[in-house]
Amino acid sequence: MSAVVDRRLRRVAIDEAFLVSILKGSLKHGLRDVIESNLPADAEVVWVFADPTRPAIVVVMASAEFEPVERGVEIPELHVTYRRTILEDASVA
């Protein structure tokens, strides 16, 4: 929580279509969809809101790895990269 107090914050925009595809379920037909990202391991959600200017959900995140943001300065956007891997999972029927 000290990352929040220190204002070590970043905005992450999640494309609406990408979010919906995840929420619809990743376990289908015996396959498991694994998603990895470049977010720091200690990243935590501080605030979530819908962006009225684009089809995206914005998540404000805190991490000790982020540089502090001065008060009154817009929180910078972090461009998260994702890697999706589909693994066969014999335990799912």
pTM flag (> 0.85): no
Distance (Å, whole) CA 9 – CA 3: 7
Distance (Å, whole) CA 72 – CA 14: 24
Q: What do you get for the CA distance between the two ends of the chain, in Å?
A: 41
B/e letters for 5-29, b = 16+ CB within 10 Å, e = fewer, are eeebbbbbbbeeeeeeeeeeeeeee
Q: Where are the domains of the chain?
A: 2-88
For residue range 32-81, list pLDDT tens digits in order. 556 677 889 899 999 999 999 999 999 999 999 999 999 999 999 998 87
